[in-house]
Amino acid sequence: MVGLTSAAGVIALLDEHDDDLKVYALQKLNGIVDQFWAEISDAVSKIEIMYEDTGFKDRQLAALVASKVYYHLGEFDDSLNFALGAGNLIDLSQKSEYIDTIVSKCIDKYIALRNQEHEDPQNVEPMDPRLKDVVEKMFDRCYQDSEYKQAVGIALESRRLDVVEHSIKAGGPANILPYIYDLTMTVVLDQAYRNTLLQLLVKQFRNLEVPDYVAINQCLVHLGEDAAGAELLQTLIKTEVQSDLLMAYQLAFDLENNATQIYLTKVAAALPTGSETLQAKYDKVKSILSGKETIKLQLEFLCKNNHTDMLILKNSKTMLDARLSIYHSAVTFANAFMNAGTTSDDFLRQNLEWLSRATNWSKFSATAALGVIHKGHLSQGLALLAPYLPQDGVTASPYSEGGSLFALGLIHANHGDEVLEYLRNTLKNTQIEVLQHGACLGLGTAGMATDNDDIYEELKNVLFSDSAIGGEAAGLAMGMVMLGTASEKALDEMLQYAHETQHEKIIRGLAVGISLVMYGKENAADALIEKLSSDKDPILRYGGMYTIAMAYCGTGNNKAIRRLLHVAVSDVNDDVRRAAVTALGFILFRSYKQVPRIVQLLSESYNPHVRYGACLALGISCAGTGSLEAIELLEPMTKDNVDFVRQGAFIALAMILMQQNEVQNSKAAGVRTMYEEVIKKKNEDALAKFGAVLGQGIIDAGGRNVTISMQSPSGHSNMPAIVGVALFTQFWYWFPASHFLSLAFTPTAIIGVNADLNMPELEFTSNARPSLFAYIPPTKPPQTAVVEKVATAVLSTTAKAQAKARKAKGAEGEAMEVEEEKPEKTEEAKEEEEKAANKAKKEPESEKLGNLARVLPAQLKYISFDKNSRYVPVKKDVSGGIVVLLDSQPGEPETLIPTSTATSSTAPAESMEVEEEEAPLPEPFTYPFGN
């Protein structure tokens, strides 16, 4: 039988008067619509009339045919409307592209209407009951097919908490709850709704047979419910079961890692007093919450595993002219980063003469570097910096004194209880701008997120003195102290003063400070973002971009990304455009694989500021990941014809390749060599060299034991790290801001502690080849070249004389037996022999690691603890950091690792206290050119 070549004959039947003929035509058209939809589309109005005719006996069939025609025409909204009119004729279980599209559009419409119902109940469009029926059928189908995760996905987006609860019960809480938690933190954008879901999750986690205390703790931190957090700890401590007590300690360590200072203070204050035994346990928990235990353990790890390669620093220092302050500062920052938290100031001690060349702000940076090197050395902070701190009534060098105040803040970053009063008094009693600058930065760093009104008022007094140097630091510090509070009082005062002052430095400090106040506030910050983004002052628009970055950090919010991309290509000011592109890195750090694709075109922009912003966005979002896509985008920019773009590319590459060896990432060795070559070049621009030296410091930061991590192992946003990186990017205007990057350095270790918070000797397995996560081998010192001897020309007369002498010697007696010297092997031959020996030895597939071992984030999935060993983690999933261990042999004696927390003294004070005389003012002269 010959197939149909046209639907014209069937379409003609639609004009008949007899309804049976029309129905017959519709049935035929329904079968051939996928083939002849273009022809049928000319008659679709007739089919619509049939559907609208209430007297027509098969209206649903007419609706189905019309829906399919509109589907093929790409008019999906019309197609959905007619599909709903088709009723039961649409079989949702059928597998076809048409059905999938209709169901998808149906769900999208349902979600949009449900969200509109919650956001704007006054102007909500009424819900079509047929639409609701289709969605309910889809839920039922998911239940029948046991596709509970699909049901949860639709339910979360459409705010159907009843379906969420039903899916948890039916699908098994163990499978569904972690999935819901993950979606809640990544997909749900509305904060109020997210909090509702978190409260539901807390209830569900509590109802489990064995309550998931770790997950409950995480939810409570997000909700900011400090009273419930304290109650949870209290309940676990009171049970007098050893595993519960250890879980309380683990939760306290997790809290210290994830929560703000103010949350931790409230939890500690809410813990009650009890009997002597109970009180000792509460005191331990309070000690953990204060951060002292974590910092002590991390300091121990960084000191014991320090793999800083001093030769790299030495070579860079030798190649760069220390008389130029930009080079002196660059080496200072590189040394600070490489030794961050290790308390090792060997480089400073060995180069006192070089150090003494620091003048003015270089001296400020050099002294502040001590704060980075001794970061976390809380017990010794004031003693270490005593030689540099301001003495009553005596100001030997304001720059080193100001730097020491900033250093004190860096040592006590985010744990400033012990030094806040000291810094406040110093700030109150000085009128010297440089000291004010250092004290403000120190106060902000140590008092981060404390919401302390007294400190805020003190900083405001400095701001209102209208000093450019002090005011800039005061603006930043006010933002740090009020971090994430969204305080209306602070925002109004800061914004008002930014409009009043004439100093660009103060406006910039306030603009960035305002962004910090709105940290994590998401859509609550939209009104302020709108206000800043439309301001006529470009510095405040710049602040607006950072406000988007801080408010939406880690959310991947599409609205925020669209706004930033629009500003990146439309604003008239280069600084604003650069900030907009940089901000993309903050918003997308959780989904860093998307960033290279998003910034690819921006990295090829004609505007160098946009290209620089693309570099930083890649560096910030992909830090420590070794992302090859990001590296491929950055490599061309290392050869850019603009010096500061090259600088940005060098810094970004260092951030991405932190802790990456050649086995893990083939690009790592090439990047390190490139830094050396750039620094060696005589004709290279100073800014590019600065970037290369900074890159050397960042790539080997913390003795090669830290990474830049914008989120904690448990998935929370790492607040100090995000703030540290945001303030680090201000080094574009002010080099001392580079030190803020140290706030983002996160030690990569597994540190096991027992019930007494001591470190026992333990063993666990890394099921990966040792070379995959090994330390980068140290740089070899240059080998002295062996000069080959040239054969000497011998005259015939000389040869005869030598022959006679030999004969005479032989006659004297037996010739002495001289052992022939074996020629020494060259270095190349030795290396080849080593390689051959290594090949012969097959590398093992796993290795045993001990307590205080370096474990990289990518290595965690390979880590396993033997269940039969003496110590096992109290937490099911080990995510690195500090792990509380359950002892299966509590009565047996333990072998503990001795602690030797470094008590390294500072470099001799006089080295930086050499106050050089400032150059005299030039004599008045007559300008020689023109009139």
pLDDT of 901 strictly over 60: no
Backbone phi and psi for residue 847, each to the nearest 5 degrees, phi listed first: -145, 155
- Give the model's pLDDT for residue 917: 44
Alpha-carbon dihedral of residues 579, 642, 335, 326, nearest 10 degrees?
A: -100
- Give the model's pLDDT for residue 931: 40
Note the pLDDT tens digit of each residue in 87-129.
877 777 778 888 888 888 888 888 888 888 887 777 777 777 8
- The band of 920, judged by pLDDT with boundaries at 50, 70 and 90, is low
Mean pLDDT of 119-146: 81
Handedness of CA 337, 340, 342, 347 (dihedral sign): positive
Note the pLDDT tens digit of each residue in 276-318.
778 888 888 888 888 888 888 888 888 888 888 888 888 888 8
Q: Helix, strand, or coil here: 864?
A: strand
- Give the model's pLDDT for residue 194: 85
Query: In this prediction, what percent of the chain has a pLDDT beyond 70?
Result: 90
Note the pLDDT tens digit of each residue in 564-591.
999 999 989 999 999 999 999 999 998 8
Query: Strand 871-873's sheet: what is its strand order?
Result: 853-854, 749-753, 881-887, 871-873
Mean pLDDT of 920-925: 50
Does the pTM surpass 0.85? The reply is: no
- Give the model's pLDDT for residue 13: 82
Rounded Cα–Cα distance for residues 881 and 691 (Å):
31
Report the amino acid identity of residue 916: E
Spell out the long-range contacts of 680-689 with Cβ–Cβ below 8 A and sequence spacing 24 or more. 680/319, 685/643, 685/646, 686/324, 686/326, 686/327, 686/643, 687/326, 687/643, 687/644, 687/646, 687/647, 688/643, 688/644, 688/646, 688/647, 688/650, 689/320, 689/327, 689/330
pLDDT of 776 strictly over 50: yes
Note the pLDDT tens digit of each residue in 787-796.
555 555 666 6
Mean pLDDT of 595-619: 91
Identify the burial level of 166 via C-beta atoms within 10 angstroms of its C-beta, where 0-12 means exposed, 13-18 middle and 19 or more buried: middle
User: How high is the mean pLDDT of the chain?
Assistant: 84
- The band of 833, judged by pLDDT with boundaries at 50, 70 and 90, is low
Chain length of the chain: 931
- The band of 924, judged by pLDDT with boundaries at 50, 70 and 90, is low
- The band of 4, judged by pLDDT with boundaries at 50, 70 and 90, is low
Q: What is the DSSP string of 728-749?
A: HGGGGT-GGGGGGGGGGEEE-E
- The band of 691, judged by pLDDT with boundaries at 50, 70 and 90, is very high
pLDDT of 152 strictly over 90: no
Report the amino acid identity of residue 304: K
pLDDT of 816 strictly over 50: no
- Give the model's pLDDT for residue 793: 61
The enclosing H or E element of 765 equals strand 763-766
pLDDT of 273 strictly over 60: yes
- Give the model's pLDDT for residue 170: 84
- Give the model's pLDDT for residue 208: 83
Mean pLDDT of 470-495: 91
Q: Which of 241-245, 351-355, 437-441, 520-524 has the highest mean pLDDT?
A: 437-441
Note the pLDDT tens digit of each residue in 187-201.
777 778 888 888 988
Mean pLDDT of 9-21: 82
- The band of 827, judged by pLDDT with boundaries at 50, 70 and 90, is low
Q: Helix, strand, or coil here: 512?
A: helix
pLDDT of 384 strictly over 70: yes
pLDDT of 821 strictly over 50: no
Pairing of strands 847-850, 853-854: unpaired
Q: Are 592 and 626 in contact (CB under 8 A)?
A: no
